[in-house]
Chain A
Amino acid sequence: MAASPGAVSPVSATASSPTLEVRNLQTHFFTRAGVVKAVDGVSFTVGRGKVMGLVGESGSGKTVTGFSILGLVDEPGRIVGGEILFHGQNLARLKEEEMRQLRGNRIAMIFQDPMMTLNPVLRVDTQMIETVLAHTKVSKEEARQRARDTLGMVGIPSPDERLKSYPHQFSGGMRQRVAIAIALLHRPELIVADEPTTALDVTIQAQILAEVQKLCAQTGTAMIWITHDLTVVAGLADELAVMYAGRVVEHGPVNGTLDKPLHPYTMGLIGSVPSRNKRGEPLRQIPGMTPSLLNLPVGCAFRTRCPKAQDKCQQDPPLGELLPGRRARCFFPYNMPAEAAA
């Protein structure tokens, strides 16, 4: 497969600078009922070849964070503050045409529902070739060749034949492979994967996770893996950011965070995962519902559902570094050394 000229940026040669650095990102939706702060001051970095897990319930702002990075936030939403630094270049300030040249080329996205992401009336080859031609000046034949090679790479048998098929002739797992192949066409430096395995069978899910991991390691692609499924990120991600009501409430390396969570919300999420060790016990769940973003509690947004909440939680807790490399937005965290000693 010929390397695309746009794929390797001169800036990415400096190994020390992270591929993506999000600083205090704020994406708000200006609805008739009021301003919805879907993403409210989110910061994280993703290095070359690293996988960042972005975890949270529905409506916690994970997907909007992903769309913000690609510049795909639609009306009435708008990025109102913060920086999205891609190799030091602020994407939030980029003109639409400059952003379009990055999308699908150096930054790619994989969507949640493979049944919905491919256009039903266009053949797979059309949808792949147009992606190649949008960013590189090659002949249609070369573009088809690259499409076929990439389909083979993601494990689609007899890619030549499959190129001529329509999306409805593929199973869900195969469609997601096609979508992943489209994302990989230009060997992007960053992939935003928005719950790409949620709609798939567990066996297919495992296969796709393994493939994606392999491909990322091979190409040095950085990845943001958005999910609500802790078991998926456990085996995949290097770092973890847990989002709640538009904010990161806990951030740290994946193992430490899952073994000894600091924030009560993370604790609740882990507690609600079914496991063999808890056979026979009723599944624990976090009481209450995700609050409406239009009407958040004052102070800590989680306090109305939190078992440890006290009067102090009516103030806004900062995202502080509570342990080395571990940050959480909580006044009364779990698993602190002092608490363990007591």
Chain B
Amino acid sequence: MSVYLLRRLLQSVLVMLAMSVIVFVGVFAIGDPVEILISPDADQMERERAIKALGLDLPLWMQYLSFLGNALRGDLGRSFVFNEPALQLILQRMPATLELALGATIMALIIGLPLGLYAGLKPKSPLSSTIMAGSILGFSLPTFWVGLMLIMVFAVQLGWLPSTGRGPTVEVLGMRWSFLTWDGLRHLAMPALNLALFKISLVIRLTRAGVRETMLMDYVKFARAKGLSPARVTYVHVFKNILIPVVTVVGLELGSTIAFSVVTESVFAWPGMGKLIIDSINVLDRPVIVAYLMMIVLMFITINLLVDLAYSALDPRVRLENK
């Protein structure tokens, strides 16, 4: 187990290193931030001073090495725009994105698992057909459009939920969270549902497919031949087996939900990382872009590791043993 972890960590470091090169070169290729940052009527002297101050006069490899050296000390550079450490900027906005993504994931499981289970157990009932048709909509409707429609219905016409922002926040562990207050939850509900829609459909389909497949297995028939109650057959013998693919996919999806909550955050003006990265890309705020991408890579690596560990807890056959 510890050998396995060590090897995984080593691999992670290599991935991070490779990613940093790609990101750095990529961002360098996008364009020159100088044009955007410095006012057009600045003279040559001022221009050069600014370029020197930002470290943009050095060749690419030297810029990279100094970035790498600073990164090892936990310094991912200062934002050109805010003149604040990039990492700090991102960390400030991370709780908002995290609670949005986690809220969406929990919603997807709470709504998706029961619906998928029902559709799998009673494939011929009209309700199941409705669920499956609904999941196709969830897959195919564009997120931003659904977000706008939600605002139209729940904020504008019914006036039940606020349309933008996080609402009041409470500070816990040095970070600000809005899910701890009632009003904060009301602010969270719509964006989380919007972000969850795709994942609900995904969980429904995965669960249904899993149930349909597992019900045909010999061990389910054997469990019935043992005289177990239908509830025990469904909730222990079938459910535990379908959790394996669901956990894997939902776990891996969590990473992309965090990384790509950009659209939802923009629609609902949710002050998270996604909104920050969009703004930074618009002004070519290189350090923030690089720091953000590095954070996302780190997050993906961590989530993949956690999913692997959860997987081995659920499926005894892949349990990681010391050999």
- Chain A interface residues (CB < 8 Å from chain B): 70, 72, 100-105, 108-109, 111-113, 116-123, 127, 130-131, 134-135, 166, 168, 179, 182
One of A100, A116, A118, A127 near B229 (C-beta < 8 A)? A100
- CA of A130 to CA of B232, assembled, Å: 9
Give the residues in chain A near B244, CB-CB below 8 Å. 121
Which of A121, A130, A179 sits near B316, CB closer than 8 Å?
A: A121
Q: Does B1 contact A (CB under 8 A)?
A: no
Give B residues with C-beta under 8 Å from A.
217-219, 221-229, 232, 236-237, 240-241, 244, 314-317
A121-B315 contact, Cβ under 8 Å, with A103-B226, A182-B226: yes
Chain B: minimal CB distance from A150 (Å): 13
B236→A111 contact, CB < 8 A: no
B226-A117 in contact (CB<8A): no
B225 near A122: Cβ-Cβ < 8 Å? no
CB distance from B132 to the nearest CB of A (A): 19
| A-B contacts besides A105-B227, A134-B228, A135-B227, 5 pairs, CB < 8 Å | A72-B221, A72-B224, A121-B244, A134-B229, A166-B317
Q: Are A117 and B222 in contact (CB under 8 A)?
A: yes
Question: Would you call A103 and B314 a contact (CB within 8 A)?
Answer: no
Inter-chain CA distance A108–B241, complex, in Å, is: 24
A53 vs B175: C-alpha distance when bound (angstroms): 72
The answer to whether A122 and B237 have CB atoms under 8 Å apart is: yes
Majority DSSP secondary structure for residues of B touching A = helix
The distance from the CB of A74 to the nearest CB of chain B, in whole angstroms, is 8
Q: Please, could you name 17 A-B residue pairs with CB atoms under 8 Å apart, sorted by A?
A: A72-B224, A103-B226, A108-B226, A109-B222, A116-B217, A117-B218, A117-B219, A118-B222, A119-B219, A121-B316, A130-B236, A131-B226, A131-B228, A134-B228, A134-B229, A135-B227, A168-B316
CA distance in complex: A134, B317 (Å): 27
B229 and A72 within 8 A (CB) = no
Q: How far in angstroms is the closest Cβ of chain B from A161? A: 16
Measured between beta carbons, the chain B residues less than 8 angstroms from A116 are 217-219
CA distance A104 to B237 in the complex (A): 16
CB atoms of B227 and A120 under 8 A apart: no
Report if A118-B219 is in contact (Cβ < 8 Å); known contacts: A130-B232, A168-B317: yes
Q: Residues of B contacting A100 with CB < 8 Å? A: 227-229
CB-contact partner of A122 in B217, B221, B229, B236, under 8 A: B236
Q: How far is the CA of A34 from the CA of B241 in the complex (A)?
A: 34
CB distance from A147 to the nearest CB of B (A): 12
Which partner residue on chain A sits nearest B223 by CB separation?
A: A119
The 6 closest A-B pairs by CB, nearest first: A104-B227, A104-B226, A116-B218, A103-B227, A166-B316, A109-B225
CA distance A70 to B224 in the complex (A): 10
CB proximity of A67 to chain B, nearest CB, Å: 8
Contacting residues, chain B, for A109 (C-beta < 8 A):
222, 225
CA separation between A163 and B228, bound complex, in Å?
Answer: 19
Q: Which residues of B are found within 8 Å of A123, using beta-carbon distances?
A: 316
Contact of A120 among B223, B225, B229, B317 (CB under 8 A): B317
